[in-house]
Structure 1
């Protein structure tokens, strides 16, 4: 009797839970349907804006064919996209390493004749273009990933419709993307980009594509999605038109005299040298009269740099010091120059990219990690390292250290 009563009670609870779940599902379904209807009305209303901006009715219909709902993953990335707060060494380690250097040198050999033509046309060194290609799309590997690349029209429409902070940007880029489609440079099925609408191998937003895109291979299309010559020439054109100085570097690693303060503004390289700021190898600066700005991204104990004109031109591609520094350092390594004399102030003993991949393999085998085995330490890898460290009584800092790898190897 007691057992039967308990069973009836359990069944009653399950029925109640099922009813609640069904109600929730119904609410979500009707809510999504309402949202989709609103999105479709937004698409219909935006048509007049696009037509007034020069988009034809046929292009508009082609652009939105089959798009009935916003992309929820785009909104998620937009809402939860954190400001980049990782230390500079973490940013650089993930982008300037033996893998990206070797791949860049291989691409230099593969695309050598085209790179020579692009250098001649635009005056931008091939190693810089290869470094940008690496930083933007990992030499095109990102374009093969369905979890990263998205329908550019749907992404931008989603942001224009559902993200107040980016709505103005997205509307402008959406119209530009439809005009790209209208020119015939790319067909509708290949008009893909990042969640924020950055396009092709060199990740140009649509308005920048319109301003700088180049048909380098001469086939009548400015195709930065499938034509490597077009993509690299487009990057070169952006740099050239923003003041790139041909034959010059982006900056110099320097050694600072201890205990001395320095001005925040720019001085000539000759004046910096008089203040005791010199190159580690003792060589003179190539153009002593050129203005330079001192940067110490990891503090006075880390590497120091004097940045000249081309560093600031690189920031026209991405307005972040870390980005421009990453491009410059990677370009130098691809070109065959040695790495930094002064290493970064990492609070751990670093490991190679191959060892990082091994670390990820170990973490995956133990059930801590389910991401890509690529040696790049992002949020997923750091969370897995922290979980492993906590479980094994280690300091939970999430760093890919020699110590963590040693412990993993013993498991």
Structure 2
């Protein structure tokens, strides 16, 4: 996410008449024109201090209009209400895997070179590309500087987006991309693999050697930059992200919780095995147990590279989807264990109801508030033990349905 700093004293003279009317008619939704002009003016000293040229700054803001639609999007981010299965099924498909294989063939030289230089396997880079923009199919259509300026001017996480805006202006000033061609999402993520401006400054590379770091138009630069990003967060070359595993009958969930992260050999000692039947190639690797659908669905031991993927997007669902798509690109199949039938994610009202029902059944959840924390999970495990279910602490639609009976 990336920052812009600029000031144009004559901004009001450069706004089209219709834009002026629109701004004035929006009342509380958009700031008054003078405020936009003042906002842009106030940015210039900071942009200048970052090494942004005056000419680049003025070109970037010459047609700037505060964008109410961007601010509206900040309030339309829905509560996460997908199960991990739903998240993955919508993103990891036979079609996406086939497209990833085709892209691997098309960009083999670039991907092979990137692996030699940064140690990141081609399928991982491809999976991130596929997840972020459908292999370049849709990279977002917002003017990045204008979107970031609107978020800053509108006061939405203003300190963060101001920094990203100033950084975006520096990228333009340095000649990597023109302001008009710097496009991305409404929140400032840019290019084939959706770098924020701050990530661009730290990790983007000129892979094709043309003197510019162009993650919008050069697939080579975008893929190389992604490999460099992962490498900088300590990607372990030649290692995978994790393994699908199966739990033994009578698995000790309490001991597993106490272990948290442990060598794979210790997980094996609890009876955990790979679903493939093969041995773990490095028994001393540190793994953590992940049960996205509880004990009745696919179960995984996650390795350090899984956490590196999460530096791209801090979500277990996202990282699992990237890892699974990467495996599918190199010929792997679907998960060995099916997802539980009929499960669903819970919204806040449903989570509150679940807590209320647990409390009515005599379990201590504190005050029902729809937030699933340690006390709620402990209550779930106690309930599961009482009714003879695996005490995995998993909160789900199926659990709520059982409590409602």
Q: Provide TM-score, normalisation by structure 1.
A: 0.74
Q: 1:135 aligns with which of 122, 131, 134?
A: 131
- 1:38 offset after TM fit, Å? 1.7
Mapped contact 1:215–1:222 kept (Cα < 8 A): yes
Residue aligned with 1:243, SS:
coil
**Counterpart Cα distance in 1 of 2:96 and 2:246:** 27
- 1:334 offset after TM fit, Å? 0.2
- 1:119 offset after TM fit, Å? 1.3
Mapped contact 2:23–2:30 kept (Cα < 8 A): no
Q: 2:201 aligns with which of 195, 206, 210?
A: 210
- 1:34 offset after TM fit, Å? 5.7
Q: 2:68 aligns with which of 63, 69, 72?
A: 72
Q: 1:47 aligns with which of 24, 44, 48?
A: 44
- Partner residue, 1:163: 155
CA-based RMSD:
1.8
- Partner residue, 1:10: none
- 1:303 offset after TM fit, Å? 0.5
- Partner residue, 1:117: 113
Q: 1:38 aligns with which of 31, 35, 38?
A: 35
- Partner residue, 1:324: 319
- Partner residue, 1:233: 224
- Partner residue, 1:263: 256
- 1:54 offset after TM fit, Å? 2.8
**Counterpart Cα distance in 2 of 1:84 and 1:48:** 40
- 1:122 offset after TM fit, Å? 1.1
Bigger helix share: 1
Residues 151-300 of structure 1 correspond to what in structure 2 (within 5 A)?
151-164=143-156, 166-260=157-251, 261=253, 262-264=255-257, 265-300=260-295
Residue aligned with 2:289, SS:
strand
- 1:273 offset after TM fit, Å? 0.5
- 1:98 offset after TM fit, Å? 1.1
- 1:346 offset after TM fit, Å? 4.0
**Counterpart Cα distance in 1 of 2:144 and 2:132:** 16
**Counterpart Cα distance in 1 of 2:205 and 2:183:** 18
| Residues 215-250 of structure 1, C-alpha deviations (whole Å, 9 max, x = no match) | 111111111001011101100001111110111000
- How many corresponding residue pairs? 318
**Counterpart Cα distance in 1 of 2:179 and 2:130:** 26
Larger relative CO (CA 8 A, sep 6+): 1 or 2? 2
- Partner residue, 1:377: none
- Partner residue, 1:369: none
- 1:36 offset after TM fit, Å? 3.1
Mapped contact 1:108–1:115 kept (Cα < 8 A): yes
- Partner residue, 1:398: none
Specify whether residues 161 and 270 from structure 1 end up closer, same or farther in structure 2 by C-alpha distance, changes over 3 A only: same
- 1:259 offset after TM fit, Å? 3.1
Residue aligned with 1:305, SS:
strand
**Counterpart Cα distance in 1 of 2:160 and 2:23:** 34
**Counterpart Cα distance in 2 of 1:28 and 1:209:** 37
| Residues 343-364 of structure 1, C-alpha deviations (whole Å, 9 max, x = no match) | 222418xxxxxxxxxxxxxxxx
Q: Provide TM-score, normalisation by structure 2.
A: 0.75
Residue aligned with 1:293, SS:
strand
Residue aligned with 1:140, SS:
coil
Residue aligned with 1:189, SS:
coil
Specify whether residues 34 and 298 from structure 1 end up closer, same or farther in structure 2 by C-alpha distance, changes over 3 A only: closer
Gaps of 5+ in 2: 1-21, 344-405
Residues 391-406 of structure 1 correspond to what in structure 2 (within 5 A)?
none
Gaps of 5+ in 1: 1-24, 349-411
**Structure index of larger Rg:** 1
**Counterpart Cα distance in 2 of 1:323 and 1:140:** 18
- Partner residue, 1:102: 98
